[in-house]
Amino acid sequence: MKRTLFRNQLLPWLLLAPQLAITFIFFLWPAAQAVRQSFLRQDAFGINTTFVGLSNFKALWNSPEYLNSLQVTAIFAVLVTVLSMGFALLLAVAVDRMIRSTSVYTTLLVWPYAVAPAVAGILWWFIFNPTIGVMPYFLDVIGYDWNHISSKSDAMTLVVIASAWKQISYNFLFFVAGLQSVPASLREAAAIDGAGPVRRFFDITVPLLSPTTFFLLVVNIVYAMFDTFGVIDATTEGGPAQATNILVYKVYFDGFVGQNMGSSAAQSVILMLIVIALTVVQFRYVEKKVAY
C-alpha cells in the first residue's frame, strides 16, 4: 500500500473533515439519538419524557404485531433474495453464453437499477392495480381474481416482485463479472472429462461463483430488509392487515404516524444490531470460508 506522509498535522484532518462531518451528522448523531430515545417514554405532545429502561424492548418482545412483522420481514427477505438472485443468475448465464452484443444486453438489463424504489413501487402498483392494471386483467382471463388490497398473499406477491425486479440488475452485474472470471479452459477441461452442460454448471461454475453468491446474499438480505421502504410505502403501506409490514416500515409507521417515539426508536436499535451482525458476517466469512 502506498503511504503518504504529511508534514503538517492539520492538513489530513482538514481533508477528512467533510466526510467525518457527514458521517457524524447523518449517521452517528441520529444513531445515538435513537439509542437514547429507546430508553425513554414521551407523552403524545412531547412535553414529558421519562426514563423507562428496557421496557420499550420488553413491550416489543410481548407485542404480537412486532413478532408478526419479524416473520413477515423474514419471509419477504428470503423471497426477494431468492427471486432476484435466481433471475439474475439465469440472465447472467444467458448473456455469458452470447458471443456478440453482450454489452448491449448488459446495459439494457442494468436500467431497472437506476429507477428509484418509490417509482418502481408505483410502476408495479399500476401494473397490478385491480381496477386499471394490466396484470389483473390477464390473471382474470386464466381465472385468478387478483386483489392486493384485500388479499394478504397478493399483497406480498406484489411487493416481492417489485422489490426483486429492482435488485435483479445489481445481482446480474456481479454474476456476469463472476462468470467471466471463470476460465474457459476449466469448462473445456470438464467437457473433455465427460461433464455435460448442466453438470459443468453445477460442478464447476457454481462453486467458482460462490464468493460472488455469498456477497450478493448478504447484500440482498440487507436490501430487502432496509431499502424496500419506498416500494412498500408506494404500494401497500404495510397492509392489508399487517401482511406486508416489514420491520423498517413499522419503524416509520409507529414513529411518524403512530407518534410512539420510544417504541419506534427501540425497533430501529434492533434493526441497527441486525445490520451490524450482517456486516460482521460479511467481513468475516466472505473472504475466508467461501473462497476455494
Partner 1 sequence: MASITLDKVGKIYAGGTRAVGDVSIDIADGEFIVLVGPSGCGKSTLLRMVAGLESISEGTVRIGDRVVNDIEPADRDIAMVFQNYALYPHMSVRQNLAYGLKNRRTPKAEIDKRVAQAAEILQIGPFLDRKPRALSGGQRQRVAMGRAIVREPAAFLFDEPLSNLDAKLRVTMRLEIKELQRRLRTTSIYVTHDQLEAMTLADRLVVLNAGRIEQIGTPLEVYRRPASTFVASFIGSPAMNLISRHAVPHLPGTAHAGTIGIRPEDLAVAPDGPIEMEVLAVEELGAQRLVHGQTGGERLTVTMPSGEPLPEYLRLAYRPGSLHLFEADTGRRID
Interstrand relation of 49-51 and 40-42 (parallel, antiparallel or unpaired): antiparallel
Task: Choose between 143 and 194: whose C-beta lies nearer to partner 1.
Answer: 194
Task: Choose between 53 and 183: whose C-beta lies nearer to partner 1.
Answer: 183
Q: Please state the closest distance from residue 177 (CB atom) to partner 1, in A.
A: 17
Q: Please state the closest distance from residue 209 (CB atom) to partner 1, in A.
A: 10
Separation of CA 163 from chain center:
8
Tell me, residue by residue from 191 to 220, as one string, x for binding to partner 1 by CB under 8 A and - for no binding. Answer: xxxxxx--x---xx--xx------------
Instruction: Count the residues of the shown chain that bind partner 1, applying the rule CB under 8 A.
Output: 18
Does position 97 bind partner 1 by CB under 8 A? no
Q: Please state the closest distance from residue 286 (CB atom) to partner 1, in A.
A: 16
Footprint of partner 1 on 160-189 (CB under 8 A): 183, 185-186, 188-189
Task: Choose between 36 and 97: whose C-beta lies nearer to partner 1.
Answer: 97
Q: Please list the residues that pair with 79 across neighbouring strands.
A: none
Tell me which stretch binds partner 1 (CB under 8 A): 31-39, 50-58, 158-166, 190-198. Answer: 190-198
Task: Choose between 7 and 100: whose C-beta lies nearer to partner 1.
Answer: 100
Q: Which residues bind partner 1 (CB under 8 A)?
A: 183, 185-186, 188-196, 199, 203-204, 207-208, 292
